[in-house]
A and B are shown apart, each in its own frame.
Chain A
């Protein structure tokens, strides 16, 4: 079978995906993460390697860990919208 772009999320990546989900969909958590990314990652139960890749925004490493591609994309966009709000034109 051809490798899919959007793959079944392995159960072992659940906490990582839950963290990405919270970044994109839980504004209160996003605020805590932006204030202290390491504490935010710890709150979501990520280990040191996952935390390093998340904070570095290393998409390929996150995908290799089983992160869902869409969650990686939107978590990064939401972080960018909060950190650099003036970079966007709002309609």
Chain B
């Protein structure tokens, strides 16, 4: 059956552990948007959530840097500060994604025992219905150059959407990441909010396909290396018009939450 829902969520850690330097009102605005996603998930009743996120050099350090990876264990676990989290994996669909993805020419990395980064956890902390819906965690390398090109992410997303859309399960596809931010650099206090807003306008117009043509250099220049996760989801939902739940930029981060009604 076709995907039943598609979303993109910010995951900045300050939404989970808020330092005094973070505007509380902005954090709560993003939480409200997350609550709306949660209500949508409860209504959509997915059998699984395929969650595309960029590992923050947590599971995949310089000992091994996959471009695209699929978690195919029975469960996945991780930690961030005092947070401890554990989610079931939908092993049948995860394995089908690997097998069919490879068959379609995507040389996927898979793991049955990698840690789950907070990029996956933060949106789920706020949006996961109870009882927990099984996941298919899908990693895209966003921080360790050379990253996959946006076009390759889009192509992988198109294949992924087709694989998932042929499954009998009710599946929600979600991206975690973005928008503009520059952690650890001298641009940290200067996110490119204008670029974000222009991209959101294009997504509202259903012009998501255009993002496949953005270069990796432009993503880096605008603090949007993580937008590769959105572009992957756009490969599956490209022409859908985005419903922007919120764009609540802080002094360092373009926090966005988006649904693509499918």
Is B one of A's binding partners? yes
Q: Could you say which residues of chain B place their CB within 8 Å of the CB of A80? A: 19
The 8 Å CB contact of A74, one of B56, B82, B115, B145, is: B56
Task: Check B57–A71 contact: CB distance below 8 A.
Answer: yes
A87–B18 Cα gap in the complex (Å)?
8
Q: Could you say which residues of chain A place their CB within 8 Å of the CB of B17? A: 81, 88-91
Binding site of A, secondary structure by majority: helix, strand, loop or mixed? helix
Q: Could you say which residues of chain A place their CB within 8 Å of the CB of B188? A: 73
Task: Check B217–A4 contact: CB distance below 8 A.
Answer: yes
Distance in angstroms from B182 CB to nearest chain A CB is 6
A56–B125 Cα gap in the complex (Å)?
34
Task: Check A70–B183 contact: CB distance below 8 A.
Answer: yes
Q: Could you say which residues of chain A place their CB within 8 Å of the CB of B182? A: 5, 69
Scan A72-91; emit 1 where CB is below 8 A from any B CB, else 0. 11100110110000011111
Scan A40-83; emit 1 where CB is below 8 A from any B CB, else 0. 00000000000000000001100100001111111001101100
Question: Residue of B at shortest CB range from A74?
Answer: B56
A60–B185 Cα gap in the complex (Å)?
8
Distance in angstroms from B111 CB to nearest chain A CB is 16
Task: Check A8–B223 contact: CB distance below 8 A.
Answer: no
Task: Check B19–A6 contact: CB distance below 8 A.
Answer: no
Distance in angstroms from A4 CB to nearest chain B CB is 5
Question: Residue of A at shortest CB range from B186?
Answer: A60
Q: Judge whether A27 is part of the interface by a CB distance below 8 angstroms.
A: yes
Instruction: Please indicate which of the listed interface residues A1, A24, A25, A78 has the most CB atoms of chain B within 10 Å of its own CB.
Output: A25
Question: Residue of B at shortest CB range from A73?
Answer: B184
Task: Check A21–B61 contact: CB distance below 8 A.
Answer: yes
Distance in angstroms from B13 CB to nearest chain A CB is 7
Task: Check B145–A25 contact: CB distance below 8 A.
Answer: no
Distance in angstroms from A77 CB to nearest chain B CB is 7
Q: Judge whether B62 is part of the interface by a CB distance below 8 angstroms.
A: yes
Distance in angstroms from B191 CB to nearest chain A CB is 12
Q: Judge whether B169 is part of the interface by a CB distance below 8 angstroms.
A: no
Task: Check B144–A9 contact: CB distance below 8 A.
Answer: yes
Q: Could you say which residues of chain B place their CB within 8 Å of the CB of A14? A: 62
Task: Check A27–B62 contact: CB distance below 8 A.
Answer: no
Task: Check B18–A6 contact: CB distance below 8 A.
Answer: no
Interface residues of B in 227-256 (CB under 8 A from A): none
Q: Return 27 A-B CB contacts under 8 Å, by A number.
A: A1-B217, A5-B221, A5-B225, A6-B143, A6-B145, A6-B220, A7-B145, A8-B144, A8-B146, A17-B61, A21-B61, A24-B58, A25-B58, A60-B186, A69-B182, A69-B183, A71-B184, A72-B184, A73-B184, A81-B17, A88-B17, A88-B18, A88-B19, A89-B18, A90-B18, A91-B125, A91-B126
New A-B pairs, 17, CB < 8 Å, besides A4-B217, A69-B184, A90-B16: A2-B221, A5-B187, A6-B225, A17-B61, A21-B62, A25-B57, A25-B115, A63-B184, A68-B57, A68-B143, A68-B184, A69-B182, A71-B57, A88-B18, A89-B18, A90-B17, A91-B16
Residues of B within 8 A of A (CB): 13, 15-20, 24, 27, 31, 56-58, 61-62, 79, 81-82, 115, 125-126, 143-146, 182-188, 217, 220-221, 223, 225
Leading 10 A-B pairs by shortest Cβ distance = A73-B184, A69-B184, A73-B183, A89-B18, A72-B184, A88-B17, A5-B185, A8-B145, A4-B220, A69-B185
